[in-house]
Amino acid sequence: MGLTAVVATSIIGNISPLIWFAGMIVIIILDRAVFARLSAQCAANAAPARIFWLIAWTALQSGLGNLLAPMLWFAPYVPGGMLAIMYITGGVANAAATLRMSTPLALAGLTPTISFMLGLPLIDFALSGGQNSLALMPFVAGLLLLGFGINLWKSLLASDAAQAQAEAAVLREKQAAAAALAAKSDTIRRMNDELRTPMAALAGAAEHLKRAAVTPEARRHIATLAQAGEVLKLVLDDLSDLDALENGQLKINLAPADPRELLRGVVAAFRTAASDKNLELFVDVQSTTPALVELDALRVRQILFNLLANAVRYTAHGGVRVRLGAQNGATPQTVKLVFAVADTGQGMSRAQLAMIFARERQSAEGDGPGLGLAISRRLAGLMGGQLTARSDLGQGSVFSFALEARRGRASAAA
């Protein structure tokens, strides 16, 4: 508007365009105040109380804004009329684009502009004596522009309606997904609550029977019972952790722990299961492994339990070897622990190896490694570690879990 007012002043030859521009600055300041108030009402989900005054204000500022057009139109120089047409056309486009969401406001803004667009050529034709029919060409052009503009306006309204429907559909899908996630989480919590009580009773009974058993065979059966209870607890933990991972609620709790004893404790839980299948179960711990590091022992034990459970389950002959090594960390205060579980099972093809960490491999028929590996990989990533696998058909598999941990005070001092 300022640039147009300067150009109009040079064309008209007086300061009336500058006076008009000064008035428009006041109009714009008042309009921003009105807009701020409307925005506050929209944020509070409250409709404007006086829509009539809003419509009147829109019509008033549109009419005042278009007063520059007749100044330019009746200027003594030909470029004034051309500039007036350009100015009015811009006003029509601006009003149609910004006010199309409200038909009353759009009409209030467009009516004065269209009146100037069609009225100025008619007034000019009448003042010139009505002899030159070419003076009506801007009027005809205005009618054409109005026709095209109406079609464009309808297209914009249809586009807005389609976008609103799409946004509503997306919102409904998000709400449905949130409801499904909440229902699933509630089901998992209920299942855990219902199953953990009898499972605790099962573990307690197995411990009592273990103390009372007098024959090696009875102790072996009781150990199998205890092992089954551990597997059931692992499944429940995996389901709970999956829900917590998907909801972003699972936290890593670091505490000093001995990784060597942690590994030996997990392996000890599978001694009986391996013996029942006539499998050898070996443990190799590198001598440089520190005795104390800071890690989440519960999550590391859960990952190792899943790896060892799969290794024993899918190995029919030979054995399983579990190794723990230590490498230099990124800093002198850290150490990289590498747990590896190698078996002599049937192995996997490359296609199977690419799919084993996916949740889709969970199978009710028991023909896949299940949910544990997918959760273990996510747990490893959450702790800043990495879970990898390599395998060949007929050559067994090796699962490696690498984790960088801060040395404990005693280890760091040593």
Contact 195, 203 (CB under 8 A): no
CATH code of the domain in which 185 resides: 1.10.287
Q: Are residues 42 and 108 in the same domain?
A: yes
Q: Are residues 265 and 347 in the same domain?
A: yes
Q: What is the DSSP string of 167-209?
A: HHHHHHHHHHHHHHHHHHHHHHHHHHHHHHHHHHHHHHHHHHH
Question: Is 149 part of any domain?
Answer: no
Q: Are residues 399 and 258 in the same domain?
A: yes
When divided into structural domains, the chain yields a total of 3
Q: Are residues 190 and 257 in the same domain?
A: no
3-state SS, residue 413? helix
**What CA–CA distance (Å, rounded) separates 302 from 265?**
12
Cα angle value 162/163/167 (rounded, 5°): 120
Q: State the CB neighbour count (10 A cutoff) for residue 333.
A: 11
**What CA–CA distance (Å, rounded) separates 206 from 231?**
14
Contacts of 283 (CB under 8 A, 6+ apart): 263, 264, 267, 321, 322, 323, 324
**What CA–CA distance (Å, rounded) separates 91 from 70?**
14
Cα angle value 293/299/301 (rounded, 5°): 80
Comparing CA positions, the residue from 53, 70, 73, 50 lying closest to residue 61 is: 53
What is the extent of the structural domain holding 196?
173-245
Q: Are residues 236 and 321 in the same domain?
A: no
**What CA–CA distance (Å, rounded) separates 391 from 340?**
13
The residue out of 245, 270, 305 marking a domain boundary is: 245
Q: Are residues 211 and 85 in the same domain?
A: no
pLDDT in tens for each of the 414 residues of the chain? 888 888 888 888 888 889 989 998 998 899 888 888 888 887 777 766 667 888 888 888 888 888 888 888 887 766 677 778 888 888 888 777 777 777 788 888 888 888 888 888 888 888 878 777 777 888 888 888 888 878 877 887 788 888 888 888 888 888 887 777 666 666 666 766 666 677 777 777 777 777 777 777 777 777 767 766 766 776 677 666 666 766 666 788 899 999 999 999 899 888 888 888 899 999 999 998 998 999 999 889 989 988 998 899 889 899 999 999 999 988 889 999 999 999 998 888 888 877 776 654 444 334 444 567 888 888 899 899 999 999 888 888 999 999 999 987 655 444
Interior/surface letters 85-120, b for 16+ CB within 10 angstroms, e for the rest: bebbbebbeebbeebbeeeebbebbbebbbebbbeb
Helix (H) or strand (E) holding 290: none
